Amino acid sequence: MNQEENILNQLESIQKMLKLQVMFQKEMLDFKETKVYLNVSDAQLYKLVEARAIPHYKPSGRKLYFKLTELLEWLQANRIESQSEIDKIADQYITRNKLKL
């Protein structure tokens, strides 16, 4: 790879990062932007929409839009505790509910 190609590749990479940065500062995202944000395929995002599993908007009855803050809430909705958190909860439960002999 020559120096010109390397510079062009770096510029393209910077351009992609800048586009992403601008995109994620918007309040509403379209379908393509949401797909990139969630890192999912078209089919997976359509399945989520069809199942009404993800909050979305259809102002014209056709084109889909997603509110960035709602996407963040949706992503954080089903948090899975780490094993250390589960162990801590179990220890607290055992300590509080010791059987009296």
- Helices then strands, each counted (H, E), the chain: 5, 2
The reply to whether 16 falls in a domain is: no
Q: How far is CA 73 from the centre of its chain?
A: 9
Q: Is 11 a member of any domain?
A: no
> Beta partners for 29?
66
State the average pLDDT for the chain: 88
Residue 73 maps to a domain: yes
Q: What is the pTM of this model?
A: 0.64
Which residue range(s) make up the domain with 54? 26-94
Confidence grade of residue 16 (pLDDT, cut at 50, 70, 90): confident
Question: 35: domain CATH number?
Answer: 1.10.10
Q: Tokens 């393209």 map to which residue?
A: 12
pLDDT score at 43: 97
